[in-house]
């Protein structure tokens, strides 16, 4: 069974640009989550999508947005990049049922210069 896949692995952008990160969930999983892990910090919740709808949003500014497609894959967009957006962005998927664990991809390392 293929795991959660994220692309690209690394992304280098300049301050003010936009970044698009992509995620394909495990087959059969309907929920997709995005987390940010900045250097030295834990995982901070960004967004949760289930069945194409945004279910919850973390304490991040509106320039962080995303969507989930009919095939349950997801995209995270970060507009007007700032230096502090440099982090590892992790996508996870789950079955969408109560108490089903999240399964993570290996992340996209975003560097803003």
Site for another protein contains 41 (CB under 8 A): yes
User: Strand, coil or helix: what is 92?
Assistant: strand
Site for another protein contains 97 (CB under 8 A): yes
Site for another protein contains 49 (CB under 8 A): no
Site for another protein contains 71 (CB under 8 A): no
Q: How far is the CB of 42 from another protein (least distance, A)?
A: 4
Q: What is the DSSP string of 28-76?
A: T--EEEEEEE-TT--PEEEEEEETTEEEEE-S--TTEEEEE-TTS-EEE
Among 90, 93, 110, 112, binds another protein (CB under 8 A): 90
């Amino acid at each position: 069974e293929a795991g959660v896949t994220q692309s690209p692995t690394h992304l280098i952008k300049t301050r003010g640009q936009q970044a698009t990160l992509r995620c394909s969930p495990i087959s059969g999983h309907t929920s997709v989550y995005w987390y940010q892990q900045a250097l030295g910090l834990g995982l901070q919740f960004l967004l949760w999508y289930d069945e194409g709808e945004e279910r919850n949003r973390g304490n991040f500014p509106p320039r962080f947005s995303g969507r989930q497609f009919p095939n349950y894959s997801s995209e995270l967009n970060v507009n007007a990049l700032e230096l502090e957006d440099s982090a590892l962005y992790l996508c996870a998927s789950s079955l969408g049922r109560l108490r089903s664990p999240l399964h993570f991809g290996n992340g996209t390392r975003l560097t803003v210069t």
